[in-house]
Structure 1
Amino acid sequence: MNQRMGMGLMKLIYKRKGHKVDLKNYRPITMLNTDLKILSKILANRLKEIMPSIIKTNQVYGVKGRDIADTTISIKDMIRYINEKNKNGFLISLDFEKAFDRVEHDFLFGVLKSFGFGENFIKWIRILYKGAVTKIKCNGFLTHVFKITRSIRQGCPLSALLYSLISEPLGLAIKHEEGIKGIGVEGEENKIFQYADDTTVMVKDLKSVKKAMEIVQMFCKGSGAKVNEEKTVYMRFGGATDLTEHFTFKEMREIKILGVLMGRDEKKAEEIMWEELLGGIERRLNFWKLRTLTLKGKVLVLNVLMVSKLWYILYGSSMPMWAEKRLKKCFLDFLWKGKPARIAYNTLIGAEGEGGLGLMDIEQRKNSLRVKIIKMYLDEENKVEWKKTMEYFLSKCGNFNLGDNILWMRTKKWMTEGVPDFYKELMSAWGKFLTCVYFNPQGRENILNQPLFLNNGILNQGKGIFYKKWWDVGITKVRDVLYEFKEGFLPIQYIVDVMEEAKEDFTRQELINKYDLIKKAIPEEWIQRIENMEQTKQGWDIYVKMGENLYAFKECGVKRFYCFFRDIVFKKTCC
């Protein structure tokens, strides 16, 4: 590769934090030769297809099928779980100084070889990096050419993939170190979460912290990385000891991880985060108020420049009612200059073809994001850590350990008492969406574990059944009214005995009538599958009906979910 092909033009971008005279507060971005970027893109397209099979840790950066929101949701859920169980533990947010720029090329080539990449592929990476030279553009002037002896060039299509590969040895070392005790649900420990160089370590005790930091230092020696101890911060939970006696890390009550503020007190952290976010939106809107815009132009400003800033935060954080009301008022003041609205809000949110202007409704968008979380959860191919904690919190709904089978119920409000606000929002949104969901459990066990009450698949005259007394005594699943090892329903006397043991008030005829309704409501197809006694394939066939159309749930996206929720509240104009 000739020098011109490997030439880069570097520009230093201020990070918008810290003093401007400190070089550490600038990020180098390199503009590369088009020929080199074409070659890099070809290699990147080949590499990205196998990344999910190579990256075995919680690293999500540049890995196909993984999302940055998976990391933030997982960490927030772990904090919720620690607080719920009142466990001791530490969360350490590591800051690697100039992470991309400090990568040693020999370490990069060694990692590629260790992961089994062939000599031909490694040769191409060597060509790209051994021939790398650059100039710096500063204040309109160009420096002399100098050789790049280390770093992964930010601006190269391969950079994200290569950095994920480089950081994988750190994740694997901490994950498999028996001396490090992580935190997890049902014995499955979580120790480290990574998004590029943003690394969060979660461990139980001081001994684990020390061992983890030993591994981090070993990784730094090999890769060229350096921990910035001034910016590395931590939180402790329960009765965990103070780390400042052993490390120079700063203790915090709230830490911003990947743009999301997290804290020991979740509600306080979210209040601070929403106050900051809403304050920024209000300041930007004050600027736009100075411009003369049409109503349609104002809607465009709100949709593109304002509400778009909320979606990433809303993926894993609940939205307090005060924040939602304040934001809605702020938007209406912007649209109507503080005067009474001339068009109803619930009309403005409709599509243009239906008489609206397409204003994005925050509550309905939030609901659609919650349904997307359910979709990701039900996708068996989606292996993410937050699924375990989500199942734990779902099992708390109703206090009868239904686990994720409670998703097939239209839960009542009292059933979600005691679960985090995020999961209250999730179950509320999903309960509304269930009205258009058609599902068919495939396996015998799936059917037996189906909720008996408030289930869209078990209906009496088109409505769900709910017997509070039956629920209170533990009759909550289909299996609770069927024989386990032979065909047929349990006799009415079993229900009577359970009620008498729980000292519930009832009449025998009342129980007979209710039991007959349940027997008729359970689909005959389900009963046949159960009595077949064969372990058919597990899983679900889930469809969504919107209008006259039927869609596979797994193929639906946030846009379609939003249309469903918007149509519930949309009001058409009279003319």
Structure 2
Amino acid sequence: MEEVERYYRNLYTRVQETAQIRKAREHVLQLLTSRVTQEEDATLHQVPTEEEVEEVVHDLRKEKSPGLESVVAEVLQACLSFVKKDCIDMVIDFWEKGALTEKNRTAVVKLLPKNSKSQWLKNWRPLSLMHLSYKILAKIMANRFKKQMPKLVDDMQTCFIHGRSIANNLLNIRLGDDWARISDQDCFFLQLDFVKAYDRVEHQFLWQTMHAMGFSGRTIKLVKGLAQGGYAKVHVNEDFTRNIPIQRGVRQGCPLAPYLFTLTTQALMDSIREGMNRGSITGIQIKPDRQLVHRLFADDTGFCLQMNEEHFREVREKIAQFELASGALLNVQKFVISPMRDEDPPQWLETTWCTVAAPGERFKYLGLLSGRGIQAEEYTAHVKLEYEKKLKHWSLRILSWLERLIIIRDFLWGWDQEGKAKKSLLAWDILGESKEADGLGCGSLEATADAYLVQNLQQIFHEDRDIWVEILSQIVIERVQTSQKDREIQDWSPQEVLICIKTLKTPRSNLAKRMIKA
């Protein structure tokens, strides 16, 4: 228990600000371009209405572990008619004072394993179980921030932003790789990940980021009241650590935390975009005025860069500045470079301290395989293997809580009218297996993948479509020009290219071929 407390005290203790840190923050924050208007800011700090409070209480997620008060959301929802006035008074009091009691700011921290190497504390994810009063206040603010995020956050960040999807990241990387090969661009994919990204956000950097974006002191005060000055009691083996002051970080389990964390990543994205505008960072060239450089899903970051040492050093320098300013720390174990050409990479890559993927070597990006020359069949085989690993757990008579969690997540379940879960209805493998293999033949991994592709193809008709749509259209254009010598197609819009019948049989990319076929 002492070791657990020591680890989390160190994790949650802020870094003393130095002149070097202040200089890095000034440099990073002056590049921020996102701004909130006074009218938009006013919607964040105005006093909540009775209807808004009532709606948030009813929307609290059910069957979730309680905080220190040991009261679950279902109890409050059932008794709301008796305690509604108390809830509203609590909300109004916080909006007036911007402060919470120590009890409401204290969270029980449960540790969840991230992978099989659970003997190390760093491989456990701290999940904060908050007081119900805190959840209500944070949920009100989260609902309001959610509406502002699409405007404030670069479209390269797809996590926690309404209307954006992790699929956009994967499609951009896959299609970008295809286009780099087709257009003979010497590029590489750089994969980054940050250590304990949520828990290392320096509060001072968060407040300064919000101020630079135009948030008022009133709004920042409300956010400070929720995110600053909290305590954690880590729950291990039916016992608790002493109160640990939280001097930095945003708490996983807080409804507002994802939006606050995403705001801090905007500083990195604007810094990268500034380098793109100066020409010191170049990615995969899609059109003369359009290139694919970086994608983020929360802290999982991917760069598609030209094989240029100076441009790589520029990216690394900007990331280092962001680390110093925000408190972030790169996870060097996931610092991977994957060249997009099969020929030997240049020698300067050996001096980058990155893992350079060899031909045929595979690694994971956002849960899916990545690497040089990967084919669609490899993706399917990988997903099937992952399901087989899970299926092996189901044959055990005695299951751990983690194995039971796997069963819950991978079976179809039914619910009665009261919302209570019934017994499992059907295993996923039986549902999707062919009838010849004693399944129901209702679907397959390939059919599911095609269904997702069709869903994503709807973006073709959106004005704010993602860049992968343009990459796909360029792949089709190149193939049509090669096979039919039709130069007129170069001036077509992505919609015209991708829905034109004569292009349906010409995509050169395997992924593009499946998307057009779908």
Normalised by the length of structure 1, the TM-score is 0.61
Letter in 2 for 1:183: I
Letter in 1 for 2:384: L
What count of residue pairs does the alignment treat as equivalent?
378
1:251 paired residue number: 356
Rounded to whole Å, the distance in 2 between the matches of 1:298 and 1:21 is 29
Calculate percent identity across the aligned residue pairs.
26
Please tell me whether the aligned partners of residues 190 and 303 of structure 2 are also in contact (alpha carbons under 8 angstroms).
yes
Query: Which structure has the larger Rg?
Result: 1
Displacement after TM superposition at 1:206 (Å): 1.0
Rounded to whole Å, the distance in 2 between the matches of 1:277 and 1:134 is 38
Please tell me whether the aligned partners of residues 12 and 26 of structure 1 are also in contact (alpha carbons under 8 angstroms).
yes
Displacement after TM superposition at 1:247 (Å): 1.8
Please tell me whether the aligned partners of residues 101 and 152 of structure 1 are also in contact (alpha carbons under 8 angstroms).
yes
2:212 corresponds to 1:109: no
What SS does the aligned partner of 2:103 have?
A: coil
2:305 corresponds to 1:203: yes
What SS does the aligned partner of 1:49 have?
A: helix
Alignment of 1:50-61 (within 5 A): 50-61=148-159
Alignment of 1:409-558 (within 5 A): 409-411=500-502, 415-416=505-506, 419-429=508-518
Q: 1:284 to 1:20 in 2, by over 3 A?
A: closer
Rounded to whole Å, the distance in 1 between the matches of 2:324 and 2:168 is 30
Q: Deviations over 1:95-131 (max 9, x none)?
A: 2111111110000111111111111110011111223
- Structure 2 alignment gaps of length 5 or more: 1-99, 398-409, 414-423
Please tell me whether the aligned partners of residues 235 and 251 of structure 1 are also in contact (alpha carbons under 8 angstroms).
yes
1:228 paired residue number: 331
What SS does the aligned partner of 1:266 have?
A: coil
Q: 1:13 to 1:290 in 2, by over 3 A?
A: closer
Displacement after TM superposition at 1:76 (Å): 1.2
Displacement after TM superposition at 1:285 (Å): 4.8
2:421 paired residue number: none
Q: 1:7 to 1:426 in 2, by over 3 A?
A: same
1:183 paired residue number: 284
Match of 1:126 among 217, 221, 224: 224
2:134 corresponds to 1:64: no
Rounded to whole Å, the distance in 2 between the matches of 1:298 and 1:8 is 32
Q: Deviations over 1:326-360 (max 9, x none)?
A: x845x74243xxxxxxxxxxxx56xxxxxxxxx33
What SS does the aligned partner of 2:296 have?
A: strand
Rounded to whole Å, the distance in 2 between the matches of 1:304 and 1:176 is 50
Displacement after TM superposition at 1:288 (Å): 5.8
Rounded to whole Å, the distance in 1 between the matches of 2:453 and 2:425 is 22
Q: 1:230 to 1:23 in 2, by over 3 A?
A: same
Letter in 1 for 2:259: L
Rounded to whole Å, the distance in 2 between the matches of 1:215 and 1:258 is 23
1:374 paired residue number: 457
What SS does the aligned partner of 1:135 have?
A: strand
Rounded to whole Å, the distance in 2 between the matches of 1:256 and 1:8 is 33
Q: Deviations over 1:17-37 (max 9, x none)?
A: 4x3222221111111111111
Displacement after TM superposition at 1:244 (Å): 4.3
1:36 paired residue number: 134
Q: 1:34 to 1:71 in 2, by over 3 A?
A: same
Match of 1:8 among 96, 100, 107: 107
Rounded to whole Å, the distance in 2 between the matches of 1:217 and 1:57 is 22
1:280 paired residue number: 386
Displacement after TM superposition at 1:379 (Å): 1.7
Please tell me whether the aligned partners of residues 243 and 249 of structure 1 are also in contact (alpha carbons under 8 angstroms).
no
Letter in 1 for 2:437: D
Please tell me whether the aligned partners of residues 380 and 446 of structure 2 are also in contact (alpha carbons under 8 angstroms).
no
Q: Deviations over 1:544-568 (max 9, x none)?
A: xxxxxxxxxxxxxxxxxxxxxxxxx
Please tell me whether the aligned partners of residues 380 and 445 of structure 2 are also in contact (alpha carbons under 8 angstroms).
no
Displacement after TM superposition at 1:397 (Å): 5.0
What SS does the aligned partner of 1:230 have?
A: helix
Letter in 2 for 1:73: L
Please tell me whether the aligned partners of residues 433 and 443 of structure 2 are also in contact (alpha carbons under 8 angstroms).
no
What SS does the aligned partner of 1:235 have?
A: strand
Q: 1:332 to 1:39 in 2, by over 3 A?
A: farther
1:218 paired residue number: 321
What SS does the aligned partner of 1:50 have?
A: helix
2:38 paired residue number: none
Displacement after TM superposition at 1:201 (Å): 1.7
CA RMSD of aligned residues (A): 2.8
Match of 1:388 among 464, 467, 470: 470
- Structure 1 alignment gaps of length 5 or more: 292-296, 309-326, 336-347, 350-358, 430-575
Please tell me whether the aligned partners of residues 497 and 503 of structure 2 are also in contact (alpha carbons under 8 angstroms).
no
Q: 1:190 to 1:409 in 2, by over 3 A?
A: closer
Displacement after TM superposition at 1:160 (Å): 1.1
Q: 1:35 to 1:229 in 2, by over 3 A?
A: same
Displacement after TM superposition at 1:11 (Å): 1.2
Please tell me whether the aligned partners of residues 206 and 241 of structure 1 are also in contact (alpha carbons under 8 angstroms).
no
Please tell me whether the aligned partners of residues 231 and 246 of structure 2 are also in contact (alpha carbons under 8 angstroms).
yes
Please tell me whether the aligned partners of residues 175 and 192 of structure 1 are also in contact (alpha carbons under 8 angstroms).
no
2:371 paired residue number: 263
Between stretches 151-160 and 362-371, larger displacement belongs to 362-371
Q: 1:306 to 1:259 in 2, by over 3 A?
A: farther
Normalised by the length of structure 2, the TM-score is 0.67
2:295 corresponds to 1:193: yes
